[in-house]
Copies of this chain bind each other. A is one copy, B any other.
Amino acid sequence: MDDAATRSRRGRGGGGAARRAERTTMRIEAARFITRNIPDIDMLSAEALDVIEHNAETVLEEIGVVFAEQPEALRRWKEAGADVQGDRVHIPRGLARKLCATAPSQFTQHARNPERNVDIGGRNLVFAPVYGPPFVRDAAGGRRYATMADFRNFVKLGYMSTYVHHSGGTLCEPTDIAVNKRHLDMLEAHMTLSDKPFMGSVTEPSRAADSVEMAKLLFGADFVDANTVMTSLININSPLTFDAVMMGALEEYARNNQAAIVSPFIVGGAMAPVSVAGTLAQVLAEVMTGVAYSQLIRPGAPVIFGCFVTSIDMNSGAPTFGTPEASQISYGAGQLARRMGLPYRSGGGFTGSKLPDAQAAYETANTLNMALYAGVNFMLHACGWLEGGLVSSYEKFVMDADQLGLYHKLAAGIDMSEEAQAMDAIREVGPGGHYLGCAHTQANFKTAFWRTELFDYKPFETWEEEGARDTQALASDRVAKLLARYEAPPLDEGIRDSLRDYVERRQAEMPDQFG
């Protein structure tokens, strides 16, 4: 019974509980993660997938992968049956795939509020916000370096967004905090300002260890030992290179049964071939290696087949988003992940645009639509991403978060119940009539159509009188309103204090490092 929910409930029974309950009467609506009741798109035939899988095995056996400066990892690979030459690991055909077989096809990531738990894998789709930008932008303040205050704002926005299931990780880089200390503040923010699931730090194995320690304070050590409470992002240095920092973090998480996304980071034509089929073979080789390695650390550790991929503008070298080639790779990788029985991470509200304008929205919608049909199970960067991931945008965060709602409806599939067939309504209205007042419409209109919380549906004249505002202006308003209405979800004060103590202690132990 030593889990967060129980303790939280005990906490609410204590001293400040009544006051707190009153303050939190504003009910935060949170949609359950999506469970798809619709088909995936299979862009590749079974024969084409066989070819790619064969090519990936050839890459692993002939070319191999590099685990630089990791004697222990090389030892593990050798013991598992790989041919290790220097820091290059040649993995015999079939070995990596065999090792991957112990990874679960689906797992639950627990949140401190059990209603916010997410099931990752299977037919499910979980949305998490943007990850990693050093800059933020809003209409009032323009583009600037992100700070911890910005970070906290984004945690709050994610908490208040109905269709954002996950609090995410590095929502922006808090550049006003030392590099070696900011992970502590970020984790504390996720843990105290939201009750949704979150990600751990990966920038140093010691920071992954801090993440686990703080999770134990929040959830209880026994609970963390038995359950997955973090999903963290392990990038692969494509092509075919696994660096010591990321692998160290992966080891820390796998050892503790915490989930990791094993994710090639690919700008097509730079870190992978310019062709879709070639990129897919490399992606599969890389993911199989990372996932297999996680299972060498702890068989059964939860891992996600990741695929971050963009195309490149061959004129300027800029990464490009919402493009057909990136979509094709993501569709193909989804099929490969399903054949391995692994949860799949791809997509996001990607754009190269500098502003939350039409370009941003076209590119984002192209990627979000793809992700729904590519069978994505975990979507990082689902909202707030701008300028190729350099910027976390306040306005785009709420714009994307609003759009995420419609995928819930689309994924549910088409209701074929008697009520939905509406034959009585068609009879009642008849030729030339209208349905606005009929019994079926009256009974169903409240849930019949998804509705934006943001976009403009007003008559032209009203819209013009109110200032002829564009989407960015409407979004600025919504950001301000959400942040003004924000109230923290209840949390046991003992836990809150223990987290604060941990952060203070660890930060005091280290001198500041910047850059």
Contact = CB atoms under 8 A, between A and B. Distances in A.
A365 B444 CA distance: 28
Given A318-B458, A456-B359, A240 B323 contact: no
Interface string A266-288: 00111111111111011000000
A39 interface: yes
B313 A240 contact: no
A449 B323 contact: yes
B273 A313 contact: no
A476 interface: no
Interface residues of A, number: 125
Contact of A65 (B410, B431, B445): B431
Contacts of A52: 421
Contacts of A273: 422, 425-426, 435, 440-441
Interface string A383-406: 000010010000010010001001
Contacts of A362: 361-362, 364-365, 399, 403, 455
Interface string A29-66: 00000000011011110001001100100110011111
Centre residue among A311, A373, A446, A456 by max chain B CB count within 10 A: A456
A502 B464 CA distance: 43
B358 A356 contact: yes
Interface of A: 38-39, 41-44, 48, 51-52, 55, 58-59, 62-66, 88, 143, 237, 239-241, 268-279, 281-282, 311-318, 320, 322-325, 327-328, 331-332, 352-366, 369-370, 373, 387, 390, 396, 399, 403, 406-407, 409-410, 413-417, 419-423, 425-427, 429-436, 440-441, 444-446, 448-452, 455-460, 463-464, 468, 470-472, 475
